Amino acid sequence: MTQTFSPHNRFGRYKLDEYAYLYARGINRKSFEQLSAADKAPYVKLLRSEVSRLAKIAAARARMDKKDNLTSRKLAQQLIKALAKIVNLTTWLPPDDASLIAADLSRVLKPLPPERSVVPAVCSIIDSIRLIRAWHAQGFELVPPLPNNIDLLGRHFVEMMVEFHEHNTRKKPPASRSSDFARLLAAAWADLKFPMPNGCKELEDLVTYLGFKLERTAAVGRHRSRKSKTRFDCGR
């Protein structure tokens, strides 16, 4: 269950509090530290509230991703089995031209409804069977399963925190695992009592883990931006 932060607890009760300065516009970290508790309160309250809200959404999205992926994998497995069955059931199909086979079968097949022609329909069926057989010969391979729930949670949490940062600062956060924003992510993760990812034992491990996801999120964002710009330029 996701930890919920109290807006009334003293400053410093949570690890993420010290990074509230990131959302105090025009105030750097040193100046923020010199503010009174009352002056810090609005920024701390905002950060606590938004982190709590976004954490719940990220957790819900991670669960949905995992469920959707399991459903898709089952459908894919059924498709592969169905292709194999169709191939086994159509070994009788001769290699002759589809139109010749259709013409031959038209002598013993009656279309329903009668106004339809047998030959085009049978040609289409034969072509479809051969396409299926060709795909089966080439084969399909199931992609590796999605990452575990913790990795899905990490991806969604980082993406949503990046959006929150951009909305409140009108700037993208530094795409670096050495940034204070990456440390905010790690502090928030620890405060939320999210499960520790594999290989993470200390806060610094979390900084590296979430910082890597932050860099990946930024790289994906740049790629999408370039694609959007290309489409825009081509439309001019």
Flag whether the pTM goes above 0.85: no
User: What tens digit of pLDDT does each residue of 21-59 get?
Assistant: 999 988 999 999 999 999 999 999 999 999 999 999 999
Q: What is the pLDDT of residue 1?
A: 53
Residue 73 has pLDDT above 60, yes or no: yes
How far is it, in rounded angstroms, from Cα 56 to Cα 181?
Answer: 20
CB proximity list for 151: less than 8 A, separation 6 or greater: 197
User: What tens digit of pLDDT does each residue of 2-17 get?
Assistant: 667 777 788 889 999 9
Q: Residues 18, 23, 29, 33: is their CA dihedral positive or negative? A: negative
What's the whole-number mean pLDDT along residues 97-113?
90
